[in-house]
Amino acid sequence: MVRSTDVFVIGGGPAGLAIAIAARQRGLRVAVADGMQPPIDKACGEALMPEGLAALERLGLQLPLEQAYRFRGIRFLSRRLAADALFPFGGNGLAARRTVLHRVMVERAEQVGADLFWRQTVSGITPDGVRVGKDFFRARWIVGADGANSRVRRWARLQASSQPRLRYAFRRHYRIAPWTGHMEVHWGERCQGYATPIGTEHVCVVMASNDPKLRMDDGLRDLPWLSDRLRNAESVTAERGAVTGNLRLKRVWRGNVALIGDAAGTVDAITGEGLRLAFSQAVALAECIEADDLAGYQKVHDRLTLRPRLMARLLLALDGRPRLQHRTLRVFQQHPEVFRRLLALHTGALPPQQLVRDGLTLGWGLITA
Ligand SMILES: Cc1cc2nc3c(=O)[nH]c(=O)nc-3n(C[C@H](O)[C@H](O)[C@H](O)COP(=O)(O)OP(=O)(O)OC[C@H]3O[C@@H](n4cnc5c(N)ncnc54)[C@H](O)[C@@H]3O)c2cc1C
């Protein structure tokens, strides 16, 4: 059977649903196919920073507050030290299970009139459209939103020339009342543990490291504060793994094919920025599709990903370096404004140029000297 649409989106994760919603908001006909059945789960820190929340709202989406948790800032902890900073302007982040986010996005995509095809794996593309099982969809535009191992990226010859440094991550949920109003990053010698409160009774924990063999319980042995917190907490989900890292593509479009979300390149999980990027890219891509200007999308994409990529590199300078972690946390404790400004920069409230002027550079110099 042959059908036709304006935009065919391959992958119905957060990025695919976001572009489907944004394109429908501009009146384009949209079809989305995903090989899985909703609500789709995935190993994720499940945190949306304030900018991510704003980007979600631009798509007309809100997470149900009774199934989510507001957090007000970021706390770093190492073996002996802890330091925290609040988001600028009294802002907050929001965290929720991936399945909750996915359900809300599916409902919104249906509501705005996108055609959603679940358990339908796309097996190939041509300049005219997309093959889904025995069917062929004619499409003016094809969007690859098929995640970090994107096949669309390969089909459109948009692969990166070099492989990123991969890190390995595992996620588990624990039944425990949140002990903090912050998202916590626990720094260990071999790994980091990210703890995000996702409801009044649950905390999501991600363990990330360079060691493919390191699992959640190995990591917890390296993170005494976090393991103390979780000692009597029941784990309510199985450990789910993923790889992470900074992957940058030279190009995110060719002809009538554009990539979005993790398919278009990834930023390391430590930034907590993947979802925000996908939502912001979706708004930009829909605008560029309508204007028949995918070159314009490339420019916006490059600008959007620059800051998270730099932040990931900056933060990962601490990875596996306990003395540097200790020095950093000491500086953050003694000069809380340095941490506050770093967080303001991370969340887009501070332009990078101001970093030089206002002395954060000096703070970072203190750390790395
Ligand atoms: C450990 C970890 C922690 C993270 N923590 C955070 C965080 O706290 N906050 C944050 O903002 N980001 C975080 N991220 C990043 C975030 O999870 C990703 O950026 C986000 O999932 C990207 O969404 P996506 O839709 O591009 O890809 P995915 O969520 O991977 O979705 C891709 C979809 O494509 C489908 N698909 C693939 N191939 C095909 C095909 N051929 N046909 C049909 N369907 C197909 C898949 O079934 C899947 O549903 C984290 C990532 C990791 C690894």
Query: pLDDT digits over 329-343, tens only?
Result: 999 999 999 899 989
Does any ligand 1 atom lie closer than 6 A to the CB of residue 52?
Answer: yes
What residues have CB less than 8 Å from 244, skipping those under 6 apart?
Answer: 166, 167, 168, 169, 208, 266, 268, 269
Ligand 1 atom 28 nearest Cα: 147
- The Å distance, Cα 117 to ligand 1 centre, comes to 18
What distance in angstroms lies between residue 337's CA and the mean position of ligand 1's atoms? 34
Q: Residue 22: how many CB atoms within 10 A of its CB?
A: 27
Best probe residue, ligand 1, of 17, 34, 150 (max atoms within 8 Å of C-beta): 34
CA 34–ligand 1 middle distance (angstroms): 12
136 torsion bin: left (phi>0), alpha (psi -120 to 50), beta (else): beta
- Which residues are within 8 A (CB) of 147 and not within 5 positions of it... i.e. 6 or more apart? 11, 13, 261, 262, 263
Closest ligand 1 atom to residue 169 Cα is 1
Is 199 near ligand 1, meaning CB less than 6 Å away? no
- CA-based torsion, 313, 319, 324, 329: positive or negative: positive
Residue from 42, 48, 115, 252 to probe ligand 1 pocket by mutation (most atoms less than 8 Å from CB): 42
State the pLDDT at residue 363: 61
pLDDT at 332: 92
User: Residue 10 in 3-state DSSP?
Assistant: strand
> How crowded is residue 29: how many other Cβ atoms within 10 Å of its Cβ?
16
Please tell me if the CB atom of residue 99 comes closer than 6 angstroms to any atom of ligand 1: no
Tokens representing residue 336 in the block: 């809380």
Report the C-alpha dihedral over residues 168, 173, 176, 180, rounded to 10 degrees. Answer: 50
What pLDDT score was predicted for residue 101? 98
Q: State whether the beta carbon of 30 lies less than 6 angstroms from ligand 1.
A: no
Write the burial class of residue 208 (CB in 10 Å: 0-12 exposed, 13-18 middle, 19+ buried): buried
Write phi, then psi, for 267 (nearest 5 degrees): -115, 145
Measured from the CA of 15, which atom of ligand 1 is nearest?
25
Q: 354, 337 in Cβ contact below 8 A?
A: no
- pLDDT score recorded for residue 365: 60
Question: What local confidence, expressed as pLDDT, does residue 298 receive?
Answer: 98
Ligand 1 contacts CB of residue 166 (under 6 A): no
For ligand 1, atom 5, which residue shows the shortest CA distance? 45
Q: Is 116 in the pocket of ligand 1 (CB under 6 A)?
A: no
Which atom of ligand 1 lies nearest, measured to the CA of 46? 8
pLDDT for the residue numbered 253: 98
Q: What tokens does 69 get?
A: 């948790």
Pairing type for strands 265-266 and 122-126 reads unpaired
Q: Is the CB of 42 under 6 A from ligand 1?
A: yes
Q: Give the per-residue pLDDT at 163.
A: 80
Which residues fall within 8 angstroms of residue 271, CB to CB, at 6 or more apart?
A: 308, 311, 312, 315, 346
> 0.85 exceeded by the pTM?
yes
Q: What is the pLDDT of residue 262?
A: 98
Give the residue ranges of the chain where pLDDT is below 70. Answer: 1-2, 352-369
Q: Is the CB of 10 under 6 A from ligand 1?
A: yes
